Chains A and B, each alone.
Chain A
């Protein structure tokens, strides 16, 4: 009976998605409709679409699991998500982006930069960055969503991946950005409701807010300090729950309610990679920036600040707190074990907690929230990659007058096939989810942020300044990831193959994220080169900045 009920709900859900995709299709009559949703999106739709695109399964499953491992220090990421990702982004960057996009008739993020700096190279370069790196992020989200579907319904992973991909393809191709944003808004609403229920049930089961947080100290003492302090990390299998908790001790963590020791490995990881990498990187995400170009006035952006901030608080704020508190729940209801010991690994904590601690009906609701989170992020990614292929790359290379929407739809199909192929190849590496998200966000910030912000606010920023800062951002980020950073350099193995060691540097500096090095260098390059090169034509600048 339950299975029958679930199937009916799923069919209804898919039917509503189909209807919204069809509505998007009916309302899509021009290139502007397909690429920037006709520039007349409702603020509620825009805010929820921005939030739902921002928050993927990576945030909920990946980072929620990290919170179970490293505790409430992850709340710094929520501070950045709300203050930088919503307040700064919407209040200071949103309207200038919207106005410049309108004045220059730009339909994509690379096109906006290209028209501002009068450079086709920037448009093609921006498209190539998106096409090279976004599939990795999309693949991570695709794997996360598919694994949940396969686990919940007991279906084959590859079959689930195929069905999941076909559904997303259908509404991205048909509805363009209108279809994507309408479905995002529905999915965002489901995610919001599920998170509210999750936090209420969690606090209730632990005896209230104060009682829940106060229990964490004892759980840390018993399951981590007393159990692991006297043992060597070599006694545990790499990646095992006790190995991970021992690692957190060695990295300077002192409890789930405490920050790691200042400038310790753990502090550098939480602050530079997780908080700054993702928190600042959001400002230069092509799939999010394009949403500023979908509204017709600043009023929609003002309203979206209110809606978006509450939404993000309910997403990352709640999942990080619940992730940390899951340790207290397991300790109380699972024979004195912490979250990692109970679930088995970082990525399994949130799914395991939902299925164990929550009522059966809620596990079903939460499954929808996770599928929604994955679908909303993926559909926006595929739309952005499709426009990068069609509008930013193909049209610029061939210089012929094609049907832009048709080429973009073709681009969407090509990029979905590419991402699905990657998801087939990497399906046994779920740990890739949180890492690839942080890498992609940090890379976008280092490459695009100086040109984007400089282009919006400084008339003196030149074409040469923009191009050189983008190249420096890409080169330095890539170098740091390939040859220095403790995790990526080791996993990729290039430094080992060439120089015979995992990282070219040693000490705690290898825990510093690429963004901390690459972004300042990219900013300095933009300023110095702009000061040294010829200013742009006054007429062109007037067109960019004056109404």
Chain B
């Protein structure tokens, strides 16, 4: 790092830190916030709506 001045050295460090933060965030949350199927009554409502639309 001694070959960079402060400004470029800081950019280099922040570039690596940003990547590490993103990798850690992605790894920790890899299996979180998955899609949850809508409840049955919503599926029924969707089905009914589609039938009405088809009819129209």
Contact = CB atoms under 8 A, between A and B. Distances in A.
Interface of A: 71-73, 75-76, 78-79, 82-83, 86-87, 91, 95, 210, 213-214, 216-217, 254-255, 257-259, 296-299, 301-310, 313, 317
A79 B8 contact: no
Contacts of A298: 32-33
Given A87-B22, A306-B25, 17 more contacts: A72-B12, A82-B15, A82-B19, A87-B25, A216-B3, A217-B3, A259-B5, A259-B8, A299-B29, A299-B31, A299-B32, A302-B26, A302-B29, A305-B22, A307-B26, A309-B23, A313-B19
Contact of A302 (B4, B15, B19, B25): B25
A164 B10 CA distance: 41
Contacts of A317: 15
Contact of B23 (A72, A259, A310): A310
Interface residues of B, number: 26
Nearest to B21: A87
Given A75-B12, A309-B26, A257 B4 contact: yes
Given A83-B18, A87-B21, A306-B23, A72 B32 contact: no
Q: For the complex, would chain B's binding face be called helix, strand, loop or mixed by DSSP majority?
A: helix
B26 A213 contact: no
Interface in B1-50: 3-8, 11-12, 14-15, 18-19, 21-23, 25-27, 29-36
A276 B37 CA distance: 41
A79 B15 contact: yes
Nearest to A85: B18
Contacts of B27: 306
A296 B38 CA distance: 12
A305 B35 contact: no
Nearest to B4: A257
9 contacts: A72-B8, A73-B11, A82-B18, A299-B29, A299-B33, A299-B34, A299-B35, A306-B25, A307-B26
B17 to A, nearest CB: 9
A285 to B, nearest CB: 19
Contacts of B15: 75, 78-79, 82, 313, 317
